Amino acid sequence: MSFRRFPVVLVMLSLWPLAKAEQKQPSEQSPLQSKPAHKEDCCVLELTSPANLASGERARTPKPQRHVEGNAASRIRVIIYEDLQCPDCAVFRKALDETLLPRYGAVVAFEHRDFPLPKHSWAKEAAVAARYLHDLDPGAAAEFRRRVQGRISEINARGFRAELSAFCRDKRLDSEKALAALMNDSYNRAVDAEFREGVAAGIRRTPTVVVAGKSFVETIDVSEVQKVLDALVGQPHESHQSERK
């Protein structure tokens, strides 16, 4: 063997670890990937790389359309990050209708923000459909959100698009246009933008309810939310106890 070949061999050996390391680097093209869901964490988002939210893409997306209940002009705001396929969100929806909106609806804004988890098969389509319906009739969109959250098990069984078509028939709306809207780029980008805003704010579970900087996550004790709201609107929380008697 010629000793002249040794430098070439040494160079190749020195470059080999670098080539192997480059092959092992994870792809950074899909920052919103989630791990497989388990029953105990069905409404949890697990990001492999939460920091990779491209600011350039955020800049290109339209300003998200907000669905607000109660007093939309109020400076007291309850921010609700929700997934329309999330069972815990459906529980909080019931608390909204039965407790929070009747008591605080005149003085508090309840602002809904779409946070459809990638692990849920039809959550994003539901959010997109709600935005389409909002452009047609905000009242119909609000009714659609309530209906979907009250029929999660049925929709899982029959399919979301069948449910959307049935809703449109009930409301005398064009179901074909509603189904076509699921592919609308503007609505999809708006939902994606709102989702990314939530991720950037540290949201990982649904529902996450934020009141005056205090977060209530997943299984929510509504009485604790009431305590914060009572302090903000100047109503004593003890009054709730007497109302129940």
Task: Let me know if residue 156 belongs to a domain.
Answer: yes
Task: Let me know if residue 19 belongs to a domain.
Answer: no
Q: What whole-number distance in Å separates Cα of residue 144 and Cα of residue 77?
A: 23
Q: Calculate the alpha carbon distances from 200 to 11, 51, 60, 127 in Å.
A: 44, 8, 16, 19
Task: Let me know if residue 142 belongs to a domain.
Answer: yes
Query: What are the b/e assignments for 95-109, b being 16+ CB within 10 Å?
Result: bbeeebeebbeebbb
Strands 67-70, 109-114: pairing is antiparallel
Domain count, the chain: 1
pLDDT at 45: 74
CATH number at residue 102: 3.40.30.10
Task: Let me know if residue 240 belongs to a domain.
Answer: no
Q: What whole-number distance in Å separates Cα of residue 245 and Cα of residue 242?
A: 5
Give 150's DSSP letter: T
Q: Quick one: which of 105, 108, 77, 82 has its CA closest to 93?
A: 82
φ, ψ of residue 112 to 5 degrees: the values are: -90, 135
Counting as low any pLDDT under 50, the low residues of the chain are: 3, 6, 8-13, 15-39, 49-59, 61, 239-245
Question: Domain range spanning residue 186?
Answer: 62-235
Task: Let me know if residue 18 belongs to a domain.
Answer: no
User: What single string gives the DSSP state of each residue in 190-232?
Assistant: HHHHHHHHHHHTT--BSSEEEETTEEEESS--HHHHHHHHHHH
pLDDT at 65: 67
pLDDT at 51: 40
Q: For residues 88, 90, 94 and 99, what is the CA-based torsion angle, rounded to 10 degrees?
A: 50
Task: Let me know if residue 49 belongs to a domain.
Answer: no
Q: For residues 187, 161, 180 and 182, what is the CA-based torsion angle, rounded to 10 degrees?
A: 20
Task: Let me know if residue 12 belongs to a domain.
Answer: no
pLDDT at 62: 52
Q: Which residue has the tokens 């074909």?
A: 176
pTM of the predicted model as reported, rounded to 2 decimal places:
0.74
